Amino acid sequence: MHYFFLEDQVLMEGLEVRLKDQDLNHAFRALRLREGELVGLADGRGEAYSGTVTVSSPGAVGVLLKEKLPGSESPLQITLVQGLVKGEKFDQIIRHAVELGVWGIQPLLAERSIPAINRQKEEKKIQRWQKIVRSAAAQCRRAYLPEVAAPVTLRDYLSLKQPKVLIVPWEGEKEITLHSLLAEPAPAERQVALLIGPEGGFSPDEITSLDRHLVTKVTLGPRILRSETAAIAALSMVQAAWGDLR
């Protein structure tokens, strides 16, 4: 069943809707949707319905909503606070993080982040990241669209209101493992922030700043992982222990 998003629209049984213009070419020409075909539609806020195609043309694809689809969201709200990395690695991190059920992604301008963000191009970059979110969420049949926030420095992030549980995988930690931390009960608030450093990791000054905010530093094991590997490994472990990957 092909899957689409209709953000900012209230969905309900019996309602006939039209796919967004940005989905038309893909739906009509690439997927070749035809009348009577079953599809899924979500509002990006947690509600999703199955429906049948009623109109399929180059100018419009209509869908009659039928049944509400079961939820696929994790009971644990994870925010991935990810140090910016170069090339397409950040795109890959976003895609995999959405598939693993994160609720939000906060790009982090760490001291060792490469490249630095050009503020004039920041809006376009965020729009591209949000398109990746939308594509990944449709692929894995999520009804909720995580938001990619504007990049901030670690100092600015720590000044914001955050979950009480802040987990930082760090190569300098030798005693507390993520596995042992996750053996404890999940936080009552069901909210967690996972802070992943950029290539080269967090600087000593940043680690000192994190310590002042009572974060929990953990080790992911005896091997030094790439930033993108650490993010996905840690997300998988947290979801398996406290979320819905059991």
Q: Which domains does the chain have, with CATH numbers?
A: 2-68 (2.40.240.20), 77-242 (3.40.1280.10)
Amino acid at 32: R
pLDDT of 154 reads 95
- 104: DSSP letter: E
Are 47 and 23 a contacting pair, CB within 8 Å? Answer: no
- Closest C-alpha to 113, from 84, 93, 90, 92: 84
> What is the CB-side half-sphere exposure of residue 175 using CA atoms within 13 A?
1
Average pLDDT for the chain: 94
Structure tokens at 82: 């990810």
Whole-number Cα distances in Å, 95 to 44, 91, 110, 187, 238: 16, 6, 21, 26, 17
Cα 133 to the chain's mean position, in Å? 7
Distance, in Å, from the CA atom of 101 to the CA atom of 238, rounded to the nearest integer, reads 11
The share of the chain scoring above pLDDT 90, in percent, equals 85
For residue range 68-120, list pLDDT tens digits in order.
Answer: 999 899 999 999 999 999 879 999 999 999 999 999 999 999 999 876 677 77
CA-angle at 179, arms to 175 and 180, nearest 5°: 60
pLDDT of 115 reads 67
For residue range 224-244, list pLDDT tens digits in order.
Answer: 999 999 999 999 999 999 999
pLDDT of 217 reads 97
Distance, in Å, from the CA atom of 210 to the CA atom of 204, rounded to the nearest integer, reads 10
Whole-number Cα distances in Å, 184 to 175, 179, 180, 210: 16, 9, 7, 22
Distance, in Å, from the CA atom of 180 to the CA atom of 124, rounded to the nearest integer, reads 40
SS (H, E, C) 6-72: CCCCCCCCCCEEECCHHHHHHHHHHCCCCCCCEEEEECEECCEEEEEEEEEECCEEEEEEEEECCCC
> What is the CB-side half-sphere exposure of residue 228 using CA atoms within 13 A?
12
For the full predicted model, state whether its pTM sits above 0.85. yes
